[in-house]
């Protein structure tokens, strides 16, 4: 799954992102968060009328047909069932997005030790998502999104069996193209891309609290077993 991630995209990275994805945007900075949690506002790349731009979304998908905001946010959508559920299928075909991030956090099941998982070389990762816009009874709108998850690769699989679906340069343009609405074309993009190289390291357990949000969240720490290897 993906329950937390870091979105600290500084100006230089934002310009690179705009160039790589051909984004038309006047923004010079996205909202910075070292510890993005469900219901937080996040930045995502979407395309409409062949124009790509950065939008702000609530993390936790609210399908437009819902009568009220759900008590539990739909932060993750399984890639294996996205085409089987009507509430997800329409967005999968028509409203796809990319959530850029520095990396994501996952907790080792055995002892709840958090790890930060990021691209080798510290490039941004591009998580696949779907979005929708919900209208409240008072007429206000809430744009929201969910992150698609898939089976973990060999790196993440050491601590968890799920991870976000990551898009490579080979698949990003097709994913963002709103004119592509053919399931036969889109379904192969739901397969984990082996061209994306990841690495991970342990981080402070303090980042498990959503109120803990600074650069220390992404800082590598030494775990007891690592210390035992050094001093034992």
Q: Write out the catalytic residue numbers.
A: 2, 106
The beta-carbon contacts of 172-175 under 8 Å, at least 24 apart in sequence, are 172/20, 172/21, 172/98, 172/126, 175/96, 175/98, 175/128
Cα separation of 124 and 195, whole Å? 14
Which of 39, 48, 13 has the alpha carbon at shortest distance from 27?
13
Residues in CB range of 2: below 8 A, 6 or more apart: 75, 76, 104, 106, 127, 147, 149, 162, 163, 164
Six token digits for residue 31: 């909202």
Question: Which letter does DSSP use for residue 181 in this model?
Answer: -
Helices (H), 22-165: 86-94
Following CA atoms 35, 14, 48, 76 in sequence, which dihedral angle do they give, to the nearest 10 degrees? -20
Q: Bridge partners of 42?
A: 57
Residues in CB range of 125: below 8 A, 6 or more apart: 100, 101, 102, 103, 104, 118, 119, 164, 166, 196, 198
Six token digits for residue 72: 């539990």
């Amino acid at each position: 799954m993906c329950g937390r991630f870091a979105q600290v995209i500084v100006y230089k990275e934002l310009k690179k992102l705009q160039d790589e994805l051909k984004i038309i945007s006047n923004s010079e900075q996205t909202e910075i968060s070292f510890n993005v949690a469900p219901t937080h506002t996040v930045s995502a790349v979407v395309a409409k009328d062949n124009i790509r731009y950065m939008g702000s979304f609530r993390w936790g998908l609210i399908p437009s047909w819902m009568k009220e905001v759900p008590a539990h946010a739909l932060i993750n959508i399984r890639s294996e069932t996205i085409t089987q559920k009507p509430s997800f299928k329409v967005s999968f075909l028509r409203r796809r997005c990319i959530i850029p991030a520095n990396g994501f956090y996952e907790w080792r099941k055995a002892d709840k030790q958090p790890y930060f998982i990021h691209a080798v070389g510290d490039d941004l990762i591009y998580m696949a998502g779907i979005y929708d816009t919900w209208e409240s009874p008072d007429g206000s709108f809430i744009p929201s999104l969910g992150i698609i998850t898939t089976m973990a690769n060999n790196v993440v699989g050491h601590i968890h069996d799920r991870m976000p679906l990551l898009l490579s340069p080979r698949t990003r343009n097709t994913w963002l193209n709103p004119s592509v609405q053919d399931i036969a074309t889109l379904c192969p993009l739901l397969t984990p891309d082996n061209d994306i190289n990841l690495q991970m390291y342990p981080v402070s357990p303090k980042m498990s609290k959503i109120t803990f949000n600074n650069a220390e969240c992404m800082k590598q720490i030494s775990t007891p077993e690592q210390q035992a290897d050094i001093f034992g």
